[in-house]
Structure 1
């Protein structure tokens, strides 16, 4: 995933976190952010366990090819 795409996905997760705090339903969040319900459910679980910081990007998933 490119750095730009990774940042875009992190921004989506943080938007979802704000909505979790307001008590919005996962299905509504998924529909409005145009992501899968399963993704929102995973994000909510991470948010429940670690707060918004748990949704921040952890860096690239793998080292870049040389």
Structure 2
């Protein structure tokens, strides 16, 4: 179970029917799916994959975390 599904289930009380766009699916392969999170290193705001500058603090140090 991906982190995004787990968190969605906790906040809504049930598991969501769709995957987050940040979740990579491997159909037919033996590799497990992983969730990718992009975050501002300065303030911790979660941002989209194409973000260059944080909308909250204007920081430009965006990091990518892959959660398996």
Larger RCO (CA under 8 A, 6+ residues apart): 1
- Which is helix-richer, 1 or 2? 1
- Normalising by structure 1, report the TM-score: 0.27
- Which is strand-richer, 1 or 2? 2
- Normalising by structure 2, report the TM-score: 0.26
